[in-house]
Amino acid sequence: ASTETDIVVIGAGAAGLMCAATAAYQGHRVLVLDHANKAGKKILMSGGGRCNFTNLNTTPEHFVSANPHFCKSALKRYSPWHFVELVERHGIEHVEKAPGQLFCAESSKEILGVLLTECEWAGAEIVLNTAIKRVSKTDNGFSLATSAGTITCQKLVVACGGLSIPTMGATGFGYQLAEQFGLTVLPTRAGLVPFTLQPDDKAWLAELSGISTDVVASTAHARFAEPMLITHRGLSGPAMLQVSSFWTPGQGVTVDWLPQVVDPVAELVTERQRHPNRGLERWLRQYFSQRLAAALTDQFGWQGNLQQFSNERLSAVAATLKGWSFKPSGTEGYRTAEVTLGGVDTDAISSKNFEVKSVPGLHFIGEVLDVTGQLGGFNFQWAWASGWCTGQAL
Ligand code: FAD
């Protein structure tokens, strides 16, 4: 069987569906192909089932890319408010959980519902369970050898995402296509991912699995004030996920366990004056759960009454609490990562319509590109913006 259409979009995810509906509204015949048995699986599992679908405070500074300017144009042309307007037009209720972070009040199914309804209204066709075996350039477009036969089109949009969560259908197909057409693919690695620990750190922290505490986590190039979650595998929670996108293997991560205390030495000296017979653990309990206060005391050898602590020793306690460093053994990898860092080098792509400069008619959008958002709804905003700008321009 052979099918001919104007535009083929590979990937029925966030960026692909947005692009397909937008292009079909322009009057084009659009076919979306996906090898999965369901569209938008990552949308469904996102934001703990509520989809953090955008962030009202989106700026280019919320993205990691070898070219920090690339994302500017699309983010400006399709803002978070455009997506909020779309969501509200479909009567979806949403909540602002943290400043700027918008989630569905009910379920992430509603966001997928908006996109599928828009595709239907616009007349974009979605074909699932379809494996793409080969893509070749023809005189006036592209030819795709697929499990559903040969499909020819004038324009091809690659929206097949990154490598995170292979069990949800993630593949490196977008990177393969990019290389086939002579583009550079910058090294990829897991981002927004929990850290795993060296045996020494794991030994005491694994016991504390389930405890969350507000910290400031930092690496050489980034600093995040967010909760940290201790798990039986390592360190997670927003603070660690955020820092992981700026971390390179071998580097250390620094944790300020007491961001709310500006001068712990002064506080500790006062505490020693007032309660010389109390232990340090009692002071720690003002800021930490009993379990965590006890574990910190044990781990760092802070037993004894405060009167036994010299000024020097109190300074050392404060230094540990304000700047504990650990060297992750690694990350949990693509199995649990929310995003993939790196990807198709944006130097070869137009920031206006996402067309490959050297291959007219070929476009790359969404996460497959070397543009990765921080935690908080920025990755979907990138998918919507790159998808919409391309759909408009096709
Ligand atoms: P995807 O949405 O991943 O879509 C790619 C599509 O391509 C998939 O349908 C896939 O099946 C298909 N595909 C892949 N390979 C092939 C192939 N070889 N042939 C055919 N089809 C193929 N971001 C936020 O902003 N907010 C959140 O709350 C949030 N939560 C997340 C939670 C989890 C657990 C995860 C994993 C990610 C989360 N993200 C979140 C990130 C966000 O989901 C992605 O950045 C976004 O989905 C990327 O959109 P995309 O369209 O580029 O790729």
Contacts of residue 292, Cβ cutoff 8 Å, sequence gap at least 6: 208, 211, 213, 284
What's the rounded Cα separation, in Å, for the pair 41 and 168? 6
Count of other CB atoms within 10 angstroms of residue 321: 21
What pLDDT is recorded for position 72? 98
Q: Is 205 helix (H, G, I), strand (E, B) or coil?
A: helix
What pLDDT is recorded for position 148? 94
- Give yes or no for residue 376 having a pLDDT over 80: yes
Backbone torsion region of residue 144, taken as left when φ is above 0, otherwise alpha when ψ lies between -120 and 50, otherwise beta? beta
CA distances in angstroms from 331 to 93, 114, 202, 213, listed in the order given: 35, 34, 13, 20
What pLDDT is recorded for position 56? 98
Contacts of residue 70, Cβ cutoff 8 Å, sequence gap at least 6: 346, 349, 351, 369, 371
What's the rounded Cα separation, in Å, for the pair 308 and 119? 71
- Residues of the chain with pLDDT > 90: what percent? 98
Ligand 1 close to Cβ of residue 343 (< 6 A): no
Q: Which atom of ligand 1 is nearest to the CA of 108?
A: 28
pLDDT digits (tens, 9 = 90+) for 174-185: 999 999 999 999
What pLDDT is recorded for position 168? 87
What pLDDT is recorded for position 194? 98
Contacts of residue 98, Cβ cutoff 8 Å, sequence gap at least 6: 376
Residue with tokens 């048995």: 37
- Tokens at 57, concatenated: 């405070």
CA distances in angstroms from 128 to 10, 40, 280, listed in the order given: 10, 11, 61
What's the rounded Cα separation, in Å, for the pair 43 and 52? 9
Q: Which atom of ligand 1 is nearest to the CA of 170?
A: 14
Total-model pTM: 0.97
CA contacts within 13 A on the Cβ side of 370:
21
Q: What angle do CA 61, 63, 64 make, to 5 degrees?
A: 115
For the chain, what is the radius of gyration of the CA atoms?
25
pLDDT digits (tens, 9 = 90+) for 210-248: 999 999 999 998 999 999 999 999 999 999 999 999 999
Grade residue 2 by pLDDT with cuts at 50, 70 and 90.
confident
The Å distance, Cα 136 to ligand 1 centre, comes to 25
Average pLDDT, the chain: 97
Q: Using most ligand atoms within 8 A of CB, pick from 45, 46, 177, 364 the residue to mutate for ligand 1.
A: 46
The Å distance, Cα 168 to ligand 1 centre, comes to 8
ipTM of this complex prediction, to 2 decimal places: 0.99
Query: If you take atom 40 of ligand 1, which residue's CA is the nearest one?
Result: 46
pLDDT digits (tens, 9 = 90+) for 136-158: 999 999 999 999 999 999 999 99
Q: Tell me the average pLDDT across 305-316.
A: 97
Q: How many residues does the chain have?
A: 394
Q: 372 with 245: CB under 8 angstroms?
A: yes
- Domains annotated on the chain, with CATH: 2-190+338-393 (3.50.50.60), 194-331 (2.40.30.10)
Residue with tokens 């479909």: 90
Q: 105 with 55: CB under 8 angstroms?
A: no
The Å distance, Cα 42 to ligand 1 centre, comes to 5
- Give yes or no for residue 322 having a pLDDT over 80: yes
The Å distance, Cα 312 to ligand 1 centre, comes to 51
